[in-house]
C-alpha cells in the first residue's frame, strides 16, 4: 500500500477505536460528536472530539531505503462545555485521557479485525495541550479545550508499494 492508503487506514482505525468506546458503558459513551474533517462548518455538540491530522514524517533520520518507518501525527481536540470555565477545563482534560486510553486499548485488535494486518506498529504520546479555547456559534463565551497529540507509527515498503 502507498502512503496515502496507509494514512486513510490509520484514520479508519482511530475512528473505530473512538466509536467502539461510544457504546453503552464505554469510556466515551457520553461523547455526542466526533469531527473528522479539518474545516468543520457545522459546529460541534459537546462533549466532542475533533480529529486533526498533522504532517506525516519519518520516525528517525532514515533515508529512502526499501522500508521506512513513518509517523502519522494526529491531534484530538477535546471539547466539553460547562458554564464554569474551570470545570470545563477539567472535563476536557479528562476527555483527552479517555481518548488516549480508548486508542491504546483498542487499536491492535481493531486493525486486525478490519484489515487483517498490522498497520499501526506503535502509538507514541507526543504532548498534551491542557488549555486552549474555541468559539462556539451562538455562545458569547469561549469554551476551553484540551489537545492530545499522538503519533501512529507505520512502515512503508517503497519498492513494492509506490
Cell (9 digits) for 98: 479517555
Burial code of 135-148, b = ≥16 C-beta within 10 A, e = fewer?
Answer: ebeeeeeebbbbbb
- Which is nearest to 21 in space by CA: 52, 47, 45? 47
Cell (9 digits) for 120: 499501526
Measured CA to CA in angstroms, residue 151 lies from 15, 43, 73 at distances of 15, 26, 4
Domain CATH code at residue 112: 3.30.2000.30
Distance, in Å, from the CA atom of 104 to the CA atom of 106, rounded to the nearest integer, reads 6
Main-chain dihedrals φ then ψ at residue 12, nearest 5 degrees: -65, -45
State the pLDDT at residue 135.
66
Domain total for the chain? 1
Integer distance in angstroms from the first to the last C-alpha of the chain?
7
State the pLDDT at residue 39.
65
Which alpha helices (H) appear in the chain, and where do they start and end?
A: 3-21, 85-115, 158-161
pLDDT string in tens for the chain (162-residue length) = 678 899 999 999 999 999 999 999 999 999 999 988 766 666 677 899 999 999 999 887 656 666 788 999 999 999 998 888 899 999 999 999 999 999 999 999 999 999 999 999 999 999 999 877 776 666 666 788 999 999 999 988 766 655
Kindly report the pTM of this predicted structure: 0.89
Range(s) of the domain holding residue 15: 3-161
Strand partners, 69: 155
Cell (9 digits) for 91: 472535563
State the pLDDT at residue 60.
79
Distance, in Å, from the CA atom of 138 to the CA atom of 117, rounded to the nearest integer, reads 45
Amino acid at each position: 500500500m502507498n502512503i496515502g492508503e496507509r494514512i486513510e487506514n490509520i484514520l479508519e482505525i482511530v475512528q473505530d477505536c473512538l466509536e467502539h468506546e461510544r457504546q453503552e458503558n464505554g469510556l466515551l459513551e457520553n461523547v455526542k460528536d466526533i469531527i473528522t474533517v479539518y474545516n468543520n462548518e457545522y459546529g460541534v455538540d459537546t462533549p466532542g472530539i475533533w480529529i486533526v491530522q498533522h504532517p506525516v514524517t519519518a520516525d528517525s533520520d532514515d533515508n529512502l531505503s526499501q522500508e521506512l518507518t513513518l509517523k502519522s501525527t494526529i491531534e484530538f481536540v477535546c471539547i466539553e462545555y460547562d458554564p464554569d470555565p474551570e470545570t470545563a477545563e477539567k472535563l476536557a482534560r479528562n476527555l483527552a485521557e479517555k481518548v488516549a486510553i480508548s486508542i491504546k486499548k483498542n487499536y491492535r485488535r481493531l486493525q486486525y479485525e478490519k484489515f487483517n494486518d498490522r498497520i499501526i506498529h506503535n502509538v507514541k504520546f507526543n504532548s498534551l495541550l491542557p488549555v486552549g479555547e474555541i468559539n462556539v456559534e451562538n455562545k458569547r463565551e469561549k469554551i476551553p479545550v484540551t489537545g492530545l497529540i499522538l503519533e501512529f507509527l507505520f512502515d512503508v515498503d517503497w519498492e513494492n508499494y509506490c
